[in-house]
Structures are given as C-alpha cells and as structure tokens.
A and B are shown apart, each in its own frame.
Chain A
Amino acid sequence: MDLAKHWRLRHARYRLEGQRNRLTGEVRFPPAPPLPGETEETWEPYILKGRGRVYSFSVVRQPPEGFEDQPPYLVALVRLDEGPLVTAQLTDCDPDQVAIDMPVEMVTRRLRALGPTGLIVYGYKFRPIVS
C-alpha cells in the first residue's frame, strides 16, 4: 500500500536531507524538483543538522484516519538552524513542557501504519534538547 510514495521520500524523511543552492548557498527543506530554467545541478543534496526551535505548537485531539491510536499528540512548526521551517510532531515531552522558541532536535520515529497489512511509515519528529 502506497509503498513507492513513501519510499521515494526516504532520504528526506530518515535523515532530513534537503537541498543547497550551488550558486547562492540557500538551504531548503523539503527538497523539490528544479524549477523551469534550473537544471539538476542547480540544487545539490544537503543534510540538515536537525536542530532548531519551536515556532509554534498545538495538540491534536481529533485525529485524521490513520492516527486514531495517537491522540493527544503534539504537532509543531520548527524553525531549523539552517533557516527552513518544517512541520512535524513533537515527541518525548508533554504539552505543558513546550514553549515557543524551545530548542529541539530531530529523532526518527514511527509516523503511522498504513493498515494491518500495510507499510509502517517512519520519519522525523522533534524532541526537546536534553543538555
């Protein structure tokens, strides 16, 4: 079920691989195909460090199909140190421990299972940085 759809995103999902512009040095995540006028050489693969700060966060209590076993779960927009903003779940913490600007780091976790006979989709979540 939906195997190829998730497999082709594995580099971004498992190791936060985005892209860096060879000319300007701009880093972007998620990766995207070249624009008309750009070539395959315009952007090179670039692995982000996986550290950033919480831009905003919420708690999902009414889940979509496929996430019924998870609520309540924390979701966030995270501003990565390299600049891009990324959407992900927060893990290993409770809602009352989270605040805007809290430092977080990427971990690889199970995102969802695609049914009893389907794929288990893994990917990035973020947790508070334990100093």
Chain B
Amino acid sequence: MRHVYIIGTGATPVGEHWDRSPASLAIEALTGALGTIPASRIGALYVASALSGALHTQSQMAALIATAAGIPGVEAVTVEAGGASGGVALRQACLAVAAGAVDLAMVVGVEKVTDVLDARREAALALATDVDWEAIHGVTLTAFWALLMRRYMHEYGYTADDFAPFPVNAHANGVANPRAMYRFAITAEKVRSAPMVAEPLGLLDCSTAADGAAAVLIASEGLAHELCATPVRIAGSATATDTLALHSRPDPLWFPAAAYSAAAALRTARLTHSDVQVFDVTDPHGIAAALALESSGFAERGTAVALAREGAITPKGRLPLATGGGCKARGDVVGASGVYQIVELVAQLRGQAGAAQVNGARVALAQCMGGIGATVATHILTLE
C-alpha cells in the first residue's frame, strides 16, 4: 500500500447559512482545498453527509457536488455513517489512493441542518440510533448521552459540575478558530447555572447542530511532494462498527468500535498512545469526549473527567482536546464534523492554530463517531 498525504484543506465558517445551498457550501470548501490545483485532476470524490437524505434536501449528494465543481463524470460516492460520515469518507479516499486506483482524491463533508425546525432535526439525528427499539420511545441522541453521563457519575462518583472543563476548554479554543460558530469563552460557573436540556446535561454542555462544509485533498506520495510544500501524512486510518442500539452492548460505558479503530489506526501508523500530542473526538457533550478518550486507551476508565478537571485537555495539557473548538464551540456539523477535525488538526501540525496551538505538535489523532458509538473512524496525522 502506498503512503497517503493531505495536501490541501478548506472549510466554510460553521453557522446558520440560510442564504446558502449545500452545493454552495461544498464548493467553497472544495475550492479552498484545491488551491491552485485544477479540479479536473481529482480522480475520485467522496462526499460525507449524514442528514441530506433524512431532511429531504437531496440524495446523491456526490453527483450534485461533482457537477457543481465542474467535474461531472468523475467517480463520486456519498458516504453516510451518521456523525462518523466524514471520517468514513476520508477512509475511502485513503484506500483509493493507497491502493493506487487514483493519485488525487477529494473528501468533502457537507451538512445543511438549519433549514428545518428543531423537532425535525432531532428526529433526523435520532435516525442514527436504532429506530425500532430506541427512537420509537422518543429517546434523542442527547438523551442517550445524558443516560450515559448519569450512569458514569453513579459508577465513578462525579457530579454534573465535574464535566464543565470540557465545554469551557472547547469555548476557550474556539476563540482562536476563525470558522468556529461560538468565538467566546465561557466559565464553569456559567455552565453550572445553565438550564437543563436532558438531565443531567445542561444547555452549555450541549453542542449546537449547524451548517457547514469542509474539504481535504488527498494525494499519493509522489504527487504530494510535487504539489505541496508541507504535506501531512495520514499514517493511520481505521473504521469499526458496533450495534446500533446502546442496550445491546455488554457494557454501555465502553465503546468497542472506538477501542478497535484507535488501536488499528495506531498500529498502522507504527505509533503508540503516548506518541499522540493533540486530539479531536466527537464531543457534543463532555461525557462523549470522556468515553471516547477512555475507550480509545488515552485515559483509564473513570478517570477522563478527573484529567479534564486537572487541565489535561487544554492546549498546554497532556491530552489537548477540541483545539478548534470541538462540537461545542466550532459547532456540530454532524456528517461534516469528521472533515472539520482534519482541517483543524492539519492547522495544528503546521503550527497555524494561533492561541490554541499545541507547541511542537507532530502527531495528531482525529476520531469521529456515528450515533452512540455504532460507527467510529480514527485517523492519525503526522508531520514528517
């Protein structure tokens, strides 16, 4: 298998883009990722979108975006894996380039969620759960995270206030991300006093679903060094799945798909856990980040919240997390989130992350999750 590199990134600001179509957002991101490279050189296009079908926007997003990019005829595939769509699409692009099928592949994540009212959006998001045995009971994704948070608190002796460092860190980092939806800091006190969304989850420990598109251009080794001065290598790439329904797992507080994909990605990269210097995971709530870090082997079970409280997840800590603002401050772009993660981590490795920069970062891990751990994609990025 050939080595695979990222040679370009692009993204729109995350927010409520009522005046923009999905194609318009996607093309802005794709154009940014191309830079001076003509679109006609793209050998394959992978489009990640979780909700475009469910919200009746459009199916066959890949053909739509290929046409909008002026390259109809190109091989183009739409990838849907809930919140993991972006990472799974990136995985497909890596496989295509590594196998030698194409030399240049474009990954575009695009989500348009603000065209509908809240109840319809909640129902569309809940399609990532098991609809026959979970969603039919009116349980939302947020409510599932709340169920896990309460159980975690019960098992390990935490209070809801102990989770505040996650949104506080996300907002502090979001200030430095020009594309983040919320570019202001919040205090733990403010998190504590926010109204409840789904007990014990309060409003300021809940991400906001928003519109946006992000793109990354993937190249083979030879082309990467020809076209880009600072290519970032995708040294590890893996996806894994699990039961859709949380209640079907032996231990709801452990995500086997996160464990498996993180271990497989590190193994391919020939790196160990201690080599990773900066992280981004699917973190719509603090509990989601905590369980992702623990399942992936970066914190002992029951300790991720304590580590966050001690400052480990800030850019100066041992496990810098959500340096682009995460789902909470960047905004939760659902199927596109996994591509935004890559855009933000490439900026980290190139030393362009401003106040959220992790000093000397050369190895980054991006992990995105569909539903409550039913699909997980993990990628390891390295600067050579």
Contact = CB atoms under 8 A, between A and B. Distances in A.
A86 B147 CA distance: 12
B51 interface: no
Nearest to B248: A85
Interface stretch (B84-92, B129-137, B183-191): B129-137
Contacts, number: 103
Contacts of B248: 85
Interface string A58-96: 111111111110100101110000001111110000010
Interface of A: 5, 9, 30, 55-68, 70, 73, 75-77, 84-89, 95, 100, 111-112, 121, 123, 125
B199 A75 contact: no
Contacts of B297: none
Interface string B92-125: 0000000000000000000000000011101101
Given A61-B198, A62-B198, A67 B154 contact: no
A111 B133 CA distance: 12
Interface of B: 118-120, 122-123, 125-126, 132-140, 142-143, 146-148, 150-151, 154, 196-201, 245-248, 252
9 contacts: A55-B252, A56-B154, A58-B146, A59-B196, A64-B119, A64-B135, A73-B138, A86-B133, A87-B139
A58 B151 CA distance: 10
B252 A60 contact: no
B138 A89 contact: yes
Nearest to B117: A65
B232 to A, nearest CB: 38
Nearest to A55: B151
Nearest to A80: B247
Nearest to B154: A100
Nearest to B245: A87
Given A58-B199, A68-B119, 4 more contacts: A57-B150, A58-B147, A77-B247, A87-B247
